[in-house]
Structure 1
Amino acid sequence: MSVLLIEPFYGGSHKQLMDVLQEELQEDCVLCTLPAKKWHWKARTSALYFMQTVPTSSNYRILFASSVLNLAELAALRPDLGKLKKVLYFHENQLAYPVQKCQERDFQYGYNQILSWFMPEHKLAHLEKVIGVKRNGDSYQSEGLPGQQESRAVMKTSDAHPESGLCEPQPGLCTTQHEGLPSPPAAPAQAEAPESTNPYQGEDKQCLTFNLSNILSGLDYQQRPLHIAWPHRWEHDKDPETFFKVLMKLKEQDLPFYVSVLGETFSEIPDIFSEAREVLGSSVLHWGYLPSKDDYFRALCTADVVISTAKHEFFGVAMIEAVHCGCYPLCPKALVYPEIFPAEYLYSTPEQLFKRLQNFCKRPDIVRKHLYKGETAGFSWAALGSKFRSLLAAEPREDL
């Protein structure tokens, strides 16, 4: 048996999921990928690329892909793959994805997802019977089935964090390993920079050398300013405008805080980032993507609060990782967040977010003594592994 894993955008949470599956199924899977660049081109053309590059094999039983792939096109271009049982994992909904500019939406990406997800009535009835998909009017919703939404994402906890690189499609097995989550350490005993030290080192707009441990040394942990983390992609759907405007307002009121902006950047960066970098000045503790997972999790473990201002979110891997590392989460009371986080961690307006942070800046001990009241264990591989294995172990059938 062989599971064919296809990921046209091998980066971020897309990469994380594929790495977990490949590590757990490494004796029985083939991973084919494209780099995490030029997302729109991958959505439009990756089926043609994989049609030519996915090796032919009579051992494939299951095709597992993210919805960046136009699965309908690939199945038409490669009839041998079209016969497989197929599992499509949606990281986002392109029909509801927020547009950056007020203009007519490019419908092609949502249309791709419709084509890839459409199933005839007898298949929907089969899903309802076999794997717990319940009818809700004219729509269907999953009851705990992994792989259909990112709200069933996987985190793998591990003490080792080997580097994993891009695995281009080629015959045989690929053996990259997942970089897992470390166990959150106890609060550091020493943690603040002397007042005369500017915590941002270097003149480049992105500081890629991790030096938070050095910056936060010198003063008592409980006395240092609040440390705020923003670990999201530098793109408009994460609404950095709202986040930075709240922080600028804190700065205007001379409230003490540090901020670490840790997310990954792509070709287009919203203008608010350069503006915020100048305004926030010495409050910036770290600015830029951390390629090392070890450094990234250390940064989260030194932070007090993690914030999301997202306009579109199916799950939010970065938020769960930060909570796992000990951060107090503040999320919009919208999207998927109320399904995951208890009510006390949700805010309804930017003004509410500002007031929460204003209080935390004045009393950072409130969040440092807080014990998270939600649950993250359900998103671990230990909890979800058996469900994924069951999903990927089912024998192919004519009616699937």
Structure 2
Amino acid sequence: MSVLLIEAFHGGSHKQLMDLLQEELQDDCVLYTLPAKKWHWKARTAALYFMQTVPASANYRILFASSVLNLAELTALRPDLGKLKKVLYFHENQLAYPVQKCQERDFQYGYNQILSWFMPEHKLAHLEKVIGVKRNGDAYHPEGLPGQQKSSALMKNSNTHCESGLCEAQPGLYTTQHEGLPSPLTVPVRLNTSEASESANPCQEEDKEHLTFNLSHILSGPDYQQRPLHIAWPHRWEHDKDPETFFKVLLKLKEKDLPFHVSVLGEAFTEIPDIFSEAKKVLGSSVLHWGYLPSKDDYFRALCMADVVISTAKHEFFGVAMVEAVYCGCYPLCPKALVYPEIFPAEYLYSTPEQLFKRLQNFCKRPDTVRKHLYKGETAGFSWAALGSKFRSLLAAEPREDL
């Protein structure tokens, strides 16, 4: 077992990434995890837990972890692991993560991230020499990168491999291949919950009847091109995805008596923003699906049946859900901010909620224009087929004496 994989929050995209790497590396890795609960507690204490549970081994060469783990603490507690080549994946930047309430930010989590990739002066000099970074005060930035937006850059150094924010990483290594996705017009739709996974979100048990598709009136309805616009929102039910803006736009469409259907997908946790229950009541019959789908096949079916996919996120390093939806044939509408301008052509970006409303208003009036549209961007570069060899190479590299 030459690769040690550690994930302190084994759920969502964190789990998808680690499971994918474990599948690819097979017998050459070992994975240690903690459940995807109480994120803040894991960020503070995971190092102590893994210090005790990860056995010592002379076979480890590489340690791969997400930045939920305080890597500095772990390597201090376990000097044997400190000697390994380390790859640290940043799913988010805790120094820029939106604060939910008007309160002072807890800087501990951002501080943990800084400690986990901080390097001594001699290694920074080596980094500057090898990969061409320039010093800006006490900080280092890759040449030609505009701040924290260049998520497509691959920044390599001896100890860390970071995604955006504090340093940059190649996006998409938690995307999956979707070859052979079924056509939304031919797939058999499951109309009961008897086969639902036991991993279904307990916070949404009251909505179990919404874990299936309400499609009987669609499959037997008017001509496909004339059906109401189908809007998908496939994001976590949390404040950083800004569900308030999304639902305000939908409610405005409803007030204008514009026809549309909506599928609100994504996982919910203990605290669900009030806007979800409020919007569900008002949207009424416009809702086709409401809630988390534990089955990946059902999730992709939902995306294949949608016409438009929306993001209203306030914090996004890549946005795997948006790219997956585009791959399934959805027309994307994203904020002209964060990482989105790097991934999506300008015609798929909006600057204000008013612009988003106007775009959807036009689509509601002419849904056929969206259904006939061919996406003008590229998604192939984000697939595992394109990125897999890069990460296999990264995790197979032999440590060097100068690292």
Question: Given the two structures, how large is their TM-score scaled by the length of structure 2?
Answer: 0.86
Q: State the Cα distance separating 1:78 from its structure 2 match.
A: 1.0
- 2:26 counterpart of 1:23: no
* 8 Å contact kept, 1:190–1:216: no
CA distance in 2, matches of 1:43, 1:28: 27
* 8 Å contact kept, 1:225–1:257: yes
- Specify the SS of the correspondent of 1:139: strand
Q: Who is 2:5 aligned against?
A: 5
- Match 2:185 to one of 180, 184, 188: 188
- Specify the SS of the correspondent of 1:211: coil
**Map 1:79-158 → 2, pairs under 5 A:** 79-130=79-130, 132=131, 134-135=133-134, 137=136, 138-141=139-142, 143-145=153-155, 147-149=161-163, 152-154=171-173, 157=176
Q: Who is 1:320 aligned against?
A: 323
- 2:67 counterpart of 1:67: yes
CA distance in 1, matches of 2:82, 2:380: 36
- Specify the SS of the correspondent of 2:267: coil
- Specify the SS of the correspondent of 2:313: coil
- Match 2:352 to one of 349, 352, 356: 349
- Specify the SS of the correspondent of 2:219: coil
Deviation sequence 1:250-278 (CA, Å, 0-9, x none): 01111110110111001100110111011
Q: Who is 1:243 aligned against?
A: 246
Provide structure 1 residue ranges, at least 5 long, that are not aligned to the other structure: 159-180, 192-201
- Specify the SS of the correspondent of 1:60: coil
Letter in 2 for 1:14: H
CA distance in 1, matches of 2:175, 2:312: 25
Give the length in aligned residue pairs: 368
- Specify the SS of the correspondent of 2:15: helix
Q: 1:42 to 1:210 in 2, by over 3 A?
A: same
CA distance in 1, matches of 2:388, 2:79: 30
Q: State the Cα distance separating 1:145 from its structure 2 match.
A: 4.1
Q: Who is 2:197 aligned against?
A: none
Deviation sequence 1:10-37 (CA, Å, 0-9, x none): 1111111111111111120011111111
CA distance in 1, matches of 2:141, 2:395: 21
CA distance in 2, matches of 1:151, 1:362: 39
- Specify the SS of the correspondent of 2:375: coil
Q: State the Cα distance separating 1:156 from its structure 2 match.
A: 5.6
Q: Who is 2:193 aligned against?
A: none
- 2:218 counterpart of 1:216: yes
CA distance in 2, matches of 1:207, 1:85: 48
Q: Who is 2:262 aligned against?
A: 259
* 8 Å contact kept, 1:133–1:140: no
Q: 1:393 to 1:203 in 2, by over 3 A?
A: closer
Q: 1:349 to 1:203 in 2, by over 3 A?
A: same
Question: Given the two structures, how large is their TM-score scaled by the length of structure 1?
Answer: 0.87
Q: 1:203 to 1:72 in 2, by over 3 A?
A: closer
Letter in 1 for 2:219: S
CA distance in 1, matches of 2:33, 2:172: 19
Q: Who is 1:50 aligned against?
A: 50
CA distance in 2, matches of 1:60, 1:18: 17
* 8 Å contact kept, 1:145–1:387: no
Q: Who is 2:296 aligned against?
A: 293
- Specify the SS of the correspondent of 2:325: helix
Q: Who is 2:150 aligned against?
A: none
* 8 Å contact kept, 1:188–1:221: no
CA distance in 1, matches of 2:57, 2:205: 52
Deviation sequence 1:26-60 (CA, Å, 0-9, x none): 12001111111111011011111111111221100
* 8 Å contact kept, 1:6–1:32: yes
Deviation sequence 1:310-345 (CA, Å, 0-9, x none): 000000111011111111000000000001100000
Deviation sequence 1:39-90 (CA, Å, 0-9, x none): 1011011111111111221100000000000000100111111110001000
Q: 1:393 to 1:124 in 2, by over 3 A?
A: farther
Identity of aligned residues (%): 80
Q: State the Cα distance separating 1:182 from its structure 2 match.
A: 4.6
- Specify the SS of the correspondent of 1:64: strand
Q: State the Cα distance separating 1:385 from its structure 2 match.
A: 1.4
Provide structure 2 residue ranges, at least 5 long, that are not aligned to the other structure: 146-152, 164-168, 189-203
CA distance in 2, matches of 1:206, 1:247: 23
Q: 1:256 to 1:24 in 2, by over 3 A?
A: same
What RMSD over aligned residues (CA atoms) do the two structures have, in Å?
2.3
Q: 1:368 to 1:388 in 2, by over 3 A?
A: same
